[in-house]
Amino acid sequence: MTELDLFTPAGDADAGGPQEEEEPLYATVAPEVPVPGAFTYRVPPALRERVQVGVRVRVPFGPRAVPGLVLELSPACGGVDARKVRPIAQVLEGAPVLDPGVLELARWTAGYYHTPLGEVLAAAVPQDVTARGRPAPKVANLAPPAPDAAPPGRLGAAQRRVLDALAAGPRRVDELCQALDVGADVVRRLEARGLVRLEEAAGPATTSSPPPAPELPELTVEQRLVLGPLLRQVEERQPVVTLLFGVTGSGKTEVYLRAIARVLELGRGAIVLVPEIALTPQTLARFRARFGDRVAVLHSQLAGEARRGEWRRVREGAAPVVVGPRSAVWAPVPDLGLIVVDEEHETTYKQEHAPRYHARDLAVVRGKQAGVPVILGSATPSLESWHNATGGRYRLARLRSRPAGSALPRVSVVDMGREWAEVKAPVVLSRLLVREVAAALERGERALLFQNRRGFTTFFMCGACGHVLKCQQCDVTLTLHRAAGAVVCHFCDHRQAPPRGCPSCLGPAMRQRGYGTERVEEVVRQLFPAATVGRLDTDVVREGEPAEVVLERFRRGEVQVLVGTQMIAKGLDIPEVTVVGVISADTGLALPDFRASERTFQLVAQVAGRAGRGPRPGSTVIQTFTPGHFALAAAADHDFERFAREELRARQALGYPPYSRALKLLLRGPDERKVQDEAARAIDDLRRALGEPDGVHAVLGPAPSPRAYLTGKFRWQALVKATPEGVRRVIRHLEEHRPRGVEWLVDVDPYHLL
């Protein structure tokens, strides 16, 4: 049976007559628990009509009941002793919530990322469209009487009032109960007696008519050359992956919009992935301006009923264009015609908890499975995508210039070591950056200042004994958040009062070192007292000010200088921004991660590209203590290809991705010696069992994780470099020789090694 066959209507299996309905029926269910495999359950006669493939059910699993999704129905129980097969306890949804395309992608994900299918399906079907989320409103209607039904027995007064009210037509249960002053249990008892039928209320009415035709911008020659082949791929359903490599501000979004317009003309749908929830509103605004209410947004921060309503609109075809972050890759678009991954290089597409999938890679797989084109767009592509494009696996399309002839910003690199020596002080903003911001403000323009650390100062150190203040639950320095009046661990969120003196030597007040966005904001306010200054980081969002509100204030000019973390480095297109400052460009260069240079180049190049996107020229100032680093030099020259050549040469020499596949094995537990011993045993055993003939090129470690102690657990890890088959062999070996007495996890294609 193929996966598409699993979705054959249940009635087709019962066409043989009433005698077949009496046969036992079994369901294969993937429970939403971290246990591999699917399990067989008996379908009780009372639930037979409601249990369908794709429906969410509740099933007994050990001593508890858990939700799961029905994958298959069969009259046979697959060789299992029928007497031991437990029954399905409850049907949680009235209709299937899983479609064939999403199931096919989920099966691939479970196999590739070594994750139980039930966990993958729980991620694929949002909580708010299931019984685990807030249930949708119910509508009550009189049930049609069965042909030979016995008269209903004695009815209570409240039940009769409900039936009388429903005689005039269906009513929402909550409104009905309020109007009649009865409890919902009255309606449920009538449903149990077959007198009332309950259904989910339809979502808010929407119209699929397009908005008034907007005035489309004139395409550049480059955009037309790029768009032609993309439209042919859409029309002919060619499963081609195109890497759209365009400098910042080159009009990649307009290419997406034109391609999606053709998809809609053909009666199909599209998925557009963006890297951050904070970027969704501005992307959504551009797409809704073009396509109206045919655009839906899906992301985890939507309120329960809002998310349920959007998911329904997508599933029913009322909203064929879906915009959202990585979870939108699972959107149940009925007739998919195109997938777009904007800023495909962003690490936020990689999920850091189970299932540890990469949404960009799932988009490529889904496009291949559905037979539709995929567009990966970026000014700073991931080296994996660039390698695939230059090697012929993907099609490479280029946009080398900005529309209307606007130039890329002028970039200046400031050596902060020399700056500190000349100023005779550890300044936060260099003299050049101060001059550039002052000139921009005088001209009525705006500035962005990027600092990839939040808080006020990043650590405390004793000048007498050298003690550094750290979290007791994590081997991490505590950061001062002055607005909150506390020092905070950025991993477990432990908070305590700032120290009055050194807790180690009981000496004088500890010195504060490093600086985050709070400190930068304070310095800017002191230097430019007449300017309106804003800040955008996760602290601001947690305090209740949504990112889109801050960005909109900046867009309208209510904020002239915006200080922020990565949240301001992506997707901003504000013509009035003419100055960008990168405060600490080399923050991530020293991290023990083979992607450190790549991430630094991408961050600096992306934030630099926020400047000069209108008619006025832009300027970017990069502050660094390592001005000679090749990644920063290439970013200053807007030269991705030079950076890629040099970095790929080093990756190839060392056998790192994209020239091999990587797998991270992490072991953790409260007993340091046990974790260390088990890590050594597991890796020694792995080295003895597998080698180069098995596709395993190297096993690095085990060693303490760079963050060796987090949330009360010691952490050791190893990194495997192998072929795709070698990675599968390693996972099989670990399953057969499981590390004992400690937690362990594998991360296929890890994006963070810390």
Task: With cut-offs at 50, 70 and 90, classify the pLDDT of residue 139.
Answer: confident
Q: What is the pLDDT averaged over residues 620-637?
A: 93
CB hemisphere CA count around 515 (13 angstroms):
17
Q: How much is the pLDDT for 133?
A: 41
Task: With cut-offs at 50, 70 and 90, classify the pLDDT of residue 550.
Answer: confident
Task: With cut-offs at 50, 70 and 90, classify the pLDDT of residue 304.
Answer: low
Q: What is the pLDDT of residues 591-628, one digit of tens each?
A: 888 999 999 999 888 888 888 777 788 899 999 999 99
Collapsing DSSP to helix, strand or coil, 468 comes out as strand
Collapsing DSSP to helix, strand or coil, 417 comes out as helix
- Say yes or no to pLDDT of 506 above 90: no
Q: CA-CA distances (angstroms) from residue 746 to 115, 720, 727, 753?
A: 9, 10, 10, 12
Pairwise pLDDT comparison (423 vs 172), residue with the higher score: 423
Amino acid at 312: R
Q: What is the pLDDT of residues 366-406, one digit of tens each?
A: 999 999 999 999 999 999 999 999 999 999 999 988 876 67
Q: How much is the pLDDT for 22?
A: 58
Name residue 665's beta-bridge partners: 718, 746
Contacts of 92 (CB under 8 A, 6+ apart): 55, 56, 57, 58, 67, 130, 131, 132
How far is Cα 332 from Cα 41, in angstroms, rounded to an integer? 26
- What is the average pLDDT value for the chain, to the nearest integer? 86
- What percent of the chain shows pLDDT beyond 90? 52
Range with the poorest average pLDDT among 373-387, 556-570, 712-726: 556-570
How far is Cα 730 from Cα 734, in angstroms, rounded to an integer? 6
**pTM: predicted TM-score of the whole model, two decimal places:** 0.82
Q: How much is the pLDDT for 37?
A: 83
Q: What is the DSSP string of 43-95?
A: --GGGTTT--TT-EEEEEETTEEEEEEEEEEESS-TTS-GGGPPBP-EE--SS
| 96: exposed, middle or buried (Cβ count in 10 Å: 0-12, 13-18, 19+) | middle
Q: For 98, which DSSP code? A: -
Q: How much is the pLDDT for 8?
A: 32
Q: What is the pLDDT averaged over residues 65-74?
A: 91
Q: What is the pLDDT averaged over residues 292-314?
A: 82
Q: What is the pLDDT averaged over residues 119-134?
A: 68
Task: With cut-offs at 50, 70 and 90, classify the pLDDT of residue 734.
Answer: very high
Q: What is the pLDDT of residues 216-270, one digit of tens each?
A: 888 999 999 999 999 999 999 999 999 999 988 888 999 999 999 999 999 999 9
Token output for 688: 């003895």
Q: How much is the pLDDT for 205?
A: 38
Q: How much is the pLDDT for 464?
A: 87
Q: How much is the pLDDT for 14?
A: 41
> Of how many residues is the chain composed?
754
- Say yes or no to pLDDT of 715 above 60: yes
Q: What is the pLDDT averaged over residues 105-131?
A: 84
Asked if 275 contacts 342 with a C-beta cutoff of 8 angstroms, the reply is yes
- Say yes or no to pLDDT of 9 above 60: no
- What percent of the chain shows pLDDT beyond 70? 89
Range with the poorest average pLDDT among 159-168, 306-315, 448-457: 159-168
Amino acid at 671: D
E strands within 132-227? 138-142, 171-172, 196-200
Q: How much is the pLDDT for 187?
A: 83
Q: Are strands 495-496 and 511-513 parallel, antiparallel or unpaired?
A: unpaired
Closest C-alpha among 753, 689, 681 to residue 717 = 753
- Say yes or no to pLDDT of 79 above 80: no
